[in-house]
Amino acid sequence: MGNSVPVGDERVERATELLMLSKGDIKRFWKVFQKYDKEREGVISMDVFFSEICLEKRNLFGDAIFDLIDTEDTNTIEFGEFVQGVCTFAMFEVPDVLRFACKAPALGFDFLEFSALHEKFPTVLYPAFRLQQQMCSNIMGSAWWNRKKNMLRNIKEEEKQKLEKERRKLYRETMKSRNSNIRQEMGYKAYYMAAWMTKGRDGQKRDYLERMSPVPEVYIDKHKEIQVKYPEPVKNVGDEQFVKEEEEDDADADPNRSAGQ
């Protein structure tokens, strides 16, 4: 394999997209990889990766990294696997390392129990954090990874704030439409008088209409999409009079419905 950076495979493209890597970043990854691919076969051994690049002994945490990204071979890694594995583990925060330790087949811990154990005995995960530290230091440099983490953290926070702003806007619009419909149903004067005369008929009708059109729940789902959920109407004793009025209004508004029907 030559000195030029190979055409990025799916793993490289995925890491590039998630971490917003530049062509220069990929070249730096390739430079490290090529340094230890002495035979120019396009692979480096796992043992070389840990002992010569990470300067750490191969252990369960290290093997679990590449189990996580589903490498083709348990003894060697290709460039795409190298980039994906390093980018995945290097970007882990403490909670991510805990989840990683729980999900990794070779480790298999319970998350809550392991989190509690980590609180009492932080040194339990020392090998994982030391491996991560050495990996970052010897591939791209710790400062580069810290800048990358801060940049992506800021972008994520900006997106979160933007989405929350859109959620609030949609909530206001939904509430405005709901209240406008209720106000139109009651009439402007009766609607606002009902706010002070809650026990009067207007107050009772406004309460009924608001219960028939409950306040919607506008939320952001796990896919980061804004959803609107309308609760079921709440019926109370005494609503019959307002239901009857609505039926009569519907009958009056229907020109095809005769008085005898």
According to the CATH classification, is domain 10-140 in 4.10.520.10?
no
At 4-49, the pLDDT tens digits run 666 668 889 999 999 999 999 999 999 999 999 888 888 898 889 8
Token digits of residue 139? 């591939």
Q: Which residues sit opposite 229 in a β-bridge?
A: 217
Where does 69-141 have alpha helices with state H? 79-90, 94-103, 111-120, 126-138
Question: What is the reported pTM?
Answer: 0.69
CA angle 206, 208, 210 (to 5 degrees): 70
**Where are the chain's structural domains?**
10-140, 161-253
pLDDT digits 0-9 by tens, 223-256: 999 999 999 998 888 788 877 877 666 665 665 6
